[in-house]
Amino acid sequence: MFPAKPTSRSILFTATIFFLLIFTIYVTANEDPTVETDNEGVDSDLQELIAIDEQGGGGGEEQQQGDQQKEAEVLSKAQRIVLELNSDNARRVIDQNEFVLILGYAPWCARSAELMPQFAEAANKLKDLGSPVLMAKLDAERYPKVASTLGIKGFPTLLLFINGTSQVYTGGFSGEDIVIWARKKTGLPVIRIISSVEAEDFQKKYHLFVLGLFDKFEGHDYEEFIKAATTDNEIQFVEVSSSSVAKILFPNINATDHFIGIVKSEPEKYIAYGGIFEKDTILQFLEYNKFPLVTILTELNSARVYSSPFKLQVIVFADSDDFKNLIQPLQEVARKFISKIMFVYIDIADENQAKPFLTLLGIEDSENTVVSAFDNRMSSKYLLESNPTPSNIEEFCSRLLHGTLSPYFKSQPIPDNKEKILQVIVGKTLDDLVLSSPKNVLLEVYTPWCINCETTTKQIEKLAKHFMGVDNLVFARIDASANEHPKLQVDDYPTLLFYPVGDKANPVKLSTKSTSKDLATVIKSLLRAKKDVPKDEL
């Protein structure tokens, strides 16, 4: 996953996206429906999953109207498939159906609204596939007791009930992801394809899948393939026994038996597996090869990206127009580092996704293309400070891979400290003004959001005036939220550090709870030059 985020990143902010412009969530009372396993006969009692707002006028074009009509038809179908749960029917629905996939939501939750169209899409696909899974939703805010009983604690929450027992949803959040996960958990981890027609139809429905070619669906290798398919929660597995059928799905296949390959809808479309047929090895191969050459980060795939096994990640921030020109050369660079570095693109205008990272780098106001990198093994971050040309990006990645890239530490601009009694230190000046200074330095480490820092700062200002006549002592402060340095590792704020001449590598930590007088006494003892210390008049 990515290196530890600041607190703001621990909460993945939600974006108001296309679906929020055309859909709104309606919560209405619903009579207790009669539930059947195949979902037939309940249409009249089903509540809409999502209602469609009246479309803005102005004489839209026919194509737009056609798209809107198609969307309306999809959601209308979802209306007849997704069951609305309430305090009266929830338990009975779960008890009377073998498989029930429940979406717990809140009307005000933006992520719930974003997920609902995907849930509707999954409901339609599962229905078309003849799946026995009953799709249902619960307004957890309206029915909090029911939500609590079912184990719904946050929004949105997906739970699959199998014969009344729940398990937490662990798949992705697109409609296709939900379908794949639900089918695997209800007994269909692998789809078997026999004919060319079936293979061609399958290709139209899935943009990411794993192909297994076995002349006989038995034996050790096949069993390990099935184990991997059952364990994986995200990718559809398909098995064939005919090499001619396999070539439709994986055209450049050379093997005639015992073959595994992953297929993606991107330039690097076909990747053959070359390892031993063991479940864990197969799964590891998929973990490193299931992503595109360049992954576009969204709310829907963020959880998958954050949990990826890649230790090295290059993240590119650019506006959408600049990215259109950058994507092809960036893919060429990424191709040279397949399975070694993960490449991610984030729209720099997307505050929810981009700003936490840019803040971590100290460049949250940047509007130009930014190329950064993270090494999760050492929690280090890096920044390309030259022009983001393909050659510079490639060299940046090569040095990242070989460990010769210097870590990046954010810093504010160098300030003017002339005639200041309390020096302002930034990341770029900590070496010169503190660690390499020929004077003793008392450094206050603070953050703007620290409640007690203001009181401590006033104390330090008072002490700085008191010791003004001491030539070998400097008082300074640094904003730890905007400046970093490898030799400044502080977790509590405020923190007072005394850097004595001759031993700057071992600063003395002073108590921030002491009075000004007590601090003055401690400082005098540390100076070891009482003749230069003023009388105690604090």
Tens of pLDDT, residue by residue over 97-132, are 999 999 999 999 988 998 999 999 999 999 888 899
Element containing residue 157 per DSSP (H, E): strand 157-162
Among 290, 214, 195, residue whose Cα is nearest residue 255: 214
Q: What is the pLDDT of residue 6?
A: 40
Q: One of 78, 106, 109, 312 is an active-site residue; which one?
A: 109
Element containing residue 191 per DSSP (H, E): strand 190-192
Q: What is the pLDDT of residue 77?
A: 54
**pLDDT higher at 233 or 528:** 233
Strands 190-192 and 165-168: unpaired
To the query of whether residue 397 is one of the catalytic residues in this protein, the response is no
Q: 485, 445 in Cβ contact below 8 A?
A: no
* 51-60, 84-93, 140-149, 360-369: least confident range: 51-60
pLDDT band at residue 49 using 50, 70 and 90 as cut-offs = very low
Kindly state the tokens that stand for 107: 């009307």
pLDDT exceeding 90 applies to what percent of the chain?
A: 69
Total residue length of the chain: 538
Sign of CA dihedral 455, 456, 460, 462: positive
Tens of pLDDT, residue by residue over 251-268, are 989 887 899 999 998 778
Among 100, 106, 90, residue whose Cα is nearest residue 140: 106
* 43-47, 303-307, 467-471, 488-492: least confident range: 43-47
The count of other CB atoms within 10 Å of the CB of residue 10 is: 9
Tens of pLDDT, residue by residue over 202-233, are 998 888 999 999 999 999 999 999 999 999 98
pLDDT exceeding 70 applies to what percent of the chain?
A: 83
Strands 312-318 and 83-85: unpaired
To the query of whether residue 109 is one of the catalytic residues in this protein, the response is yes
User: Would the pTM of this model clear 0.75, i.e. be above it?
Assistant: no
Q: One of 158, 360, 453, 533 is an active-site residue; which one?
A: 453
The pLDDT of 374-391, averaged and rounded, is 93
Q: What b-and-e string marks burial along 346-382, b requiring 16 or more CB atoms within 10 Å of the CB? A: bbbebebbbbbbbbbbbbeeeeebbbbbbbbeeebbb
Tens of pLDDT, residue by residue over 4-46, are 334 333 333 333 333 333 333 333 333 333 333 333 333 333 3
The residue whose two tokens read 């007690």 is: 452
**pLDDT higher at 11 or 60:** 60
Q: One of 85, 249, 450, 478 is an active-site residue; which one?
A: 450
The whole-angstrom separation of Cα 126 and Cα 268 is 29
